[in-house]
């Protein structure tokens, strides 16, 4: 399991960056979502994997019994997932509005804000 | 009392934003709440600065958990100066928005979002916890996303999509870096991380790797050289009240985070980092100013200058002596005020003449000599002409550079200053000096009410110019504060001891 996860994270990162570099809006959204997933999985795995031990302190003890999983990455992860969810939702709505306003699916058509204003003749 | 003072810069905007939401339909009430909250914020941040100045670094633990476990809030002089500058600018923007932003946008939650943006800026500057910093950054970014897209015109949507995509990526890199730091050290408290960074480490190269993730993440948010392309593509698209706030403050908050982390946590690999920063600082300055020289739009010229000025802030971090960091801190404050002010002035001009294109503008000096004077002061401050504020920042940076033998970087920065004057002269010639080209006379007619609004819009500009003149002409107290802030940054033991209560 510990061997598979790093490869999975690597594949997710690679796939997401590949998708983000596409010009198509839908692939951009997919890429952003997968990028978020890859990040979350990375934070989860780097906090060390401990199976079957939750960090709950038994009533008669003052410390949790070893081995227990580090609760901090899990807490971070929950926060990151919620934030990521909100931002992805915003990004999807934004892209939908852009699609409606511009009537195009191609990011290359959206370069008007980069251009230097035409010199008036 | 001390704890409350530290929390007020966060509580005031938060509660004011919530209160604004209750009055969704009553924009007038929202305006009063927002301006009152801004005034409260200004007073509270000023009191916090006085408190930190006399009694040293203020800290508090949220939920009263002891330091490395609970979430720490800590204010040293640097963070106080940042939140104070932020609240000054926020006040000006609120005053400007009341008349300077169209009614339609104001009714769709503009004020609550602006206040939440203030909250995010305060949070980033006051937090003492790495993950908490990430959360504040996300709060700040989502407010910016909404503000840039608010109104939903075509250029805005286009700018927003570029801004959102690149910032989502940067946030992802930030999260990965945070994960890496936690994996190596097992803590996220900045003070404890600083303590560990000063002890012998088992994986020094891993810490450098994590530092690179932070460099990319904050470098994107601060718009340093290879990562700045989103900025000139998006900052000029929203209405001027929004873009001047975002343009004035956000990149500097990214710079704040960078200076904080690279003086406190990622200090092992100076041999790699400092030359890298030197090269990046030089390139950021040059590319930004060259980009500005090619533009023909008031706001776009200013947007490219943001990039150029970020290079100066990075220059202080690259030289990394007390004087250089003091120069950076002073320069950040100066730049937030001046840049916001220049954007606001472009807004006042556009309100009167209906365009930002240099070709179509003209004769502003003839019609508004007072506004021209205000622009003159701000532009000369930006270019760094004594006795205005930019000069002192550049003087400190150049002096520190000569003392530390960074001749190439100093010469680059001085050459870039000349090019900055060139850009400002271009705006002056085109907008203020030359005769206005003949246009449709119907556009020229303004009602008496519009003229009164235009006069009211001068108010926030004057408000900011007062501060610019204060830190420029009477520079000594601000420079002294910046120097003490730099000493606090470089003697990290003070920060660590204050947070960990050792």
Please, which pLDDT band fits residue B500 given cuts at 50, 70 and 90? Answer: confident
Are B294 and A116 inside 8 Å of each other by CB?
yes
pLDDT at B281: 93
A113 part of a folded domain: no
Query: Within an 8 Å CB–CB cutoff, is residue B194 touching chain A?
Result: no
3-class DSSP assignment, residue B374: helix
Q: What is the mean pLDDT of chain B?
A: 89
Are B138 and A114 inside 8 Å of each other by CB?
no
Interval B100-123 mean pLDDT: 90
CA distance B82 to B126: 9
Residues of B in Cβ contact (< 8 Å) with A102: 154, 157-158
pLDDT at B279: 93
Q: pLDDT tens for residues B287-315? A: 999 988 888 888 888 999 999 999 999 99
Question: Percent of chain B beyond pLDDT 90?
Answer: 48
CA distance B367 to B431: 11
The three-point CA angle B40-B60-B12 to 5° equals: 20
Query: Within an 8 Å CB–CB cutoff, is residue A9 touching chain B?
Result: no
Are B297 and A73 inside 8 Å of each other by CB?
no
Domain that holds residue A80: 4-54+68-104
* Domains in chain A, number: 1
A115 part of a folded domain: no
Query: Within an 8 Å CB–CB cutoff, is residue A120 touching chain B?
Result: yes
Interval B360-379 mean pLDDT: 86
CA distance A82 to A76: 10
Size of interface A-B (CB pairs under 8 A): 111
pLDDT at residue B131 greater than cutoff 50:
yes
pLDDT at residue B399 greater than cutoff 60:
yes
Q: pLDDT tens for residues B192-230? A: 888 888 888 777 888 888 899 999 999 999 989 888 888
Please, which pLDDT band fits residue B439 given cuts at 50, 70 and 90? Answer: low
A34 part of a folded domain: yes
Interval B331-336 mean pLDDT: 93
CATH number of the domain that residue A91 is part of: 1.10.287
Question: Percent of chain B beyond pLDDT 70?
Answer: 98
Better-scored residue on pLDDT, B188 or B355: B188
Are A98 and B157 inside 8 Å of each other by CB?
yes
Please tell me what DSSP assigns to residue B68.
Answer: T
Would you call the peptide bond into B340 cis, given omega within 30 degrees of 0 as the criterion? Answer: no
Give the closest of A20, A80, A114 to B175, CB-based: A80
Query: Within an 8 Å CB–CB cutoff, is residue A63 touching chain B?
Result: no
In whole angstroms, what separates CA B258 from the centre of its chain? 13
Are B162 and A113 inside 8 Å of each other by CB?
yes
Cβ under 8 Å to A: B residues 298-357: 300, 357
Q: What are phi and psi of B268, to 5 degrees?
A: -70, -45
pLDDT at B19: 93
Are B155 and A97 inside 8 Å of each other by CB?
no
Residue A42's closest CA among B27, B432, B174? B174
A119 part of a folded domain: no
| Alpha helices in B56-187, H assignment, sequence order | 77-100, 103-106, 110-126, 130-149, 154-185
How close is the nearest chain A Cα to the Cα of B210, in Å?
A: 13
How close is the nearest chain B Cα to the Cα of A60, in Å?
A: 22
Q: pLDDT tens for residues B26-77? A: 889 999 999 999 999 999 999 999 999 888 888 888 877 877 788 889 999 9
Residues of A in Cβ contact (< 8 Å) with B180: 46
Interval B385-392 mean pLDDT: 87
pLDDT at A120: 40
What interface predicted TM-score (ipTM) does this complex get? Answer: 0.91
pLDDT at residue B445 greater than cutoff 70:
no
Token readout for B320 is 């990394």
Give the closest of A36, A46, A87 to B179, CB-based: A46
pLDDT at residue B4 greater than cutoff 50:
yes
Q: pLDDT tens for residues B406-427? A: 899 999 999 999 999 988 888 8
Are B138 and A87 inside 8 Å of each other by CB?
yes
pLDDT at B440: 60
A110 part of a folded domain: no
What averages of pLDDT result for each successive group of 10 residues across chain A (121 residues)? Answer: 88 94 89 92 85 79 79 88 91 90 82 64 33
Q: What are phi and psi of A24, to 5 degrees?
A: -80, 135
Cβ under 8 Å to A: B residues 262-281: none
Please, which pLDDT band fits residue B384 given cuts at 50, 70 and 90? Answer: confident
């Amino acid at each position: 399991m510990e061997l598979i996860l790093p490869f999975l994270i690597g594949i997710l990162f690679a796939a997401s960056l590949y998708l983000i570099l596409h010009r198509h809006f839908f692939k951009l959204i997919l890429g952003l979502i997968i990028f978020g997933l890859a990040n979350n999985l990375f934070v989860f795995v780097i906090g060390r994997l401990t199976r079957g031990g939750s960090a709950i302190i038994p009533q008669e003890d003052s410390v949790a019994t070893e081995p227990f999983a580090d609760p901090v990455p899990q807490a971070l992860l929950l926060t990151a997932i919620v934030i990521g969810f909100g931002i992805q939702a915003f990004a999807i709505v934004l892209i939908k509005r852009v699609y409606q306003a511009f009537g195009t699916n191609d990011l290359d058509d959206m370069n008007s804000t980069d251009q230097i204003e035409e010199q008036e003749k | 009392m001390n704890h409350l003072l530290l929390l007020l810069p966060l509580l005031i905007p938060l509660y004011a934003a919530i209160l604004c939401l209750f009055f969704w339909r009553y924009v007038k009430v929202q305006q009063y709440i927002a301006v009152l909250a801004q005034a409260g914020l200004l007073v509270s941040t000023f009191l916090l600065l006085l408190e930190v100045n006399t009694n040293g670094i203020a800290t508090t633990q949220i939920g009263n958990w002891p330091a490395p476990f609970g979430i720490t809030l800590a204010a040293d002089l640097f963070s106080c100066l940042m939140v104070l500058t932020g609240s000054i600018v926020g006040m000006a923007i609120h005053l400007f928005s009341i008349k300077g932003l169209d009614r339609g946008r104001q009714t769709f939650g503009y004020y609550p979002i602006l206040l939440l943006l203030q909250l995010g800026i305060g949070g980033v500057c006051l937090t003492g916890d790495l993950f908490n910093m990430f959360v504040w950054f996300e709060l700040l970014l989502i407010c910016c996303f909404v503000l840039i897209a608010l109104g939903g015109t075509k250029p805005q949507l286009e700018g927003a999509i570029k801004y959102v995509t690149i910032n989502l990526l940067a946030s992802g890199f930030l999260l990965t870096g945070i994960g890496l730091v936690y994996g190596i050290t097992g803590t996220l408290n900045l003070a404890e991380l600083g303590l560990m960074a000063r002890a012998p480490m088992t994986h020094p190269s891993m810490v450098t790797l994590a530092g690179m993730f932070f460099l990319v993440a904050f470098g994107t948010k601060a718009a340093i050289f290879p990562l700045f392309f989103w900025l000139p593509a998006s900052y000029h698209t929203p209405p001027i009240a929004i873009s001047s706030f975002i343009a004035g403050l956000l990149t500097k908050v990214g710079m704040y985070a960078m200076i904080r982390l690279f003086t406190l946590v990622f200090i092992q690999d100076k041999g790699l980092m400092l030359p890298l920063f030197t090269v990046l600082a030089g390139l950021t300055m040059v590319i930004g100013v060259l980009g500005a020289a090619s533009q023909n739009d008031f706001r776009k010229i200013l947007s490219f200058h943001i990039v150029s000025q970020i290079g100066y802030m990075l220059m202080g971090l690259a030289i990394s002596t007390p004087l250089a960091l003091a120069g950076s801190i002073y320069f950040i404050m100066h730049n937030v005020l001046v840049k916001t002010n220049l954007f606001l002035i472009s807004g006042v001009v556009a309100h009167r003449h209906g365009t930002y294109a240099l070709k179509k503008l003209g004769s502003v000096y003839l019609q508004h000599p007072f506004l021209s004077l205000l622009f003159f002061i701000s532009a000369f401050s930006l270019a760094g002409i004594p006795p205005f504020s930019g000069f002192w920042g550049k003087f400190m940076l150049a002096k520190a550079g000569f003392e530390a033998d960074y001749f190439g970087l100093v010469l680059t920065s001085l050459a870039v200053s000349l090019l900055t004057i060139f850009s400002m002269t271009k705006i002056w010639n085109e907008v203020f000096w030359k005769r206005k080209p003949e246009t449709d006379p119907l556009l020229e007619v303004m009602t008496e009410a519009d003229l009164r609004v235009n006069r009211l819009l001068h108010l926030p500009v004057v408000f900011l110019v007062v501060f610019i003149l204060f830190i420029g002409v009477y520079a000594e107290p601000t420079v002294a504060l910046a120097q003490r802030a730099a000493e606090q940054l470089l003697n990290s033991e003070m920060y660590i001891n204050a947070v960990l209560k050792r």
